[in-house]
Chains A and B, each alone.
Chain A
Amino acid sequence: SQTIHQWPATLVQPVGSPLSLECTVEGTSNPNLYWYRQAAGRGLQLLFYSVGIGQISSEVPQNLSASRPQDRQFILSSKKLLLSDSGFYLCAYQGGPFTPLHFGNGTRLTVT
């Protein structure tokens, strides 16, 4: 069966520190991968998506970057966090065209 793992679950980081959130998928090959951010009390905003290894599309200019070093691994990074980077980050995968997205459990990031 297909599963998605996202970690850490919670993270508190000072302003200016680096960030690395990791997401891995099991049970499927060449999935589409997504990073979303959810600000408090709001809907989800797509940050990055990837249709293959090394292929990253950015939806919103920001302080963040994404990488896909392996087929089923998706990493969200920042060199220097800003206060505005605080939020709830969700990784998702899509196992095939036009199939639903399945989400990880999310990471609550607080930048202090």
Chain B
Amino acid sequence: AQTVTQSQPEMSVQEAETVTLSCTYDTSESDYYLFWYKQPPSRQMILVIRQEAYKQQNATENRFSVNFQKAAKSFSLKISDSQLGDAAMYFCAYSTGTASKLTFGTGTRLQVTL
């Protein structure tokens, strides 16, 4: 079974600084997708960024980028120029197959301080 591990329950970053959230996963599949979702206090799940396993190039969305290391099964999220609005729970997720059932990690709570 696929598992997703987020080893950092909480992280803190100062406004305008950079922070990296870690995620590792376990799978025997060669083709899969990885995602980072953000859950603010409103509890709505918001897609931040996605990565296709067959792509070597790391995905980037504005201030958000990933470091995808397929051999190491690692998928970290880097947030640059952190803003107060980035404060939220961040979930790493994995999926495979046409019915893309997401397997989630337990989340990392990010605090952004002034």
Contacts and interface: CB of A to CB of B under 8 A. Distances in A.
Q: In which size bucket is the chain A interface?
A: 20 to 34
Interface in B52-69: 52
A105 B41 CA distance: 11
A42 B106 contact: yes
Interface in A32-52: 32, 34, 38, 42-46, 49, 51
A20 B50 CA distance: 32
Contacts of B33: 98
Contacts of B91: 43-44
Contacts of B104: 43-45
A100 B105 contact: no
A106 B46 CA distance: 12
Given A100-B50, A106-B44, A43 B106 contact: yes
Interface of chain A, main secondary structure: strand
Interface string A96-112: 01111111111010000
B74 to A, nearest CB: 18
Interface of A: 32, 34, 38, 42-46, 49, 51, 57, 59, 88, 90, 92, 94, 97-106, 108
Interface of B: 33, 35, 42-47, 50, 52, 91, 95, 98-107
Sorted nearest first, the 3 A-B pairs with minimum C-beta distance are A103-B45, A43-B104, A97-B98
Given A43-B107, A98-B52, 12 more contacts: A34-B102, A43-B105, A44-B45, A44-B91, A44-B102, A94-B99, A100-B35, A100-B47, A101-B100, A101-B102, A102-B47, A103-B46
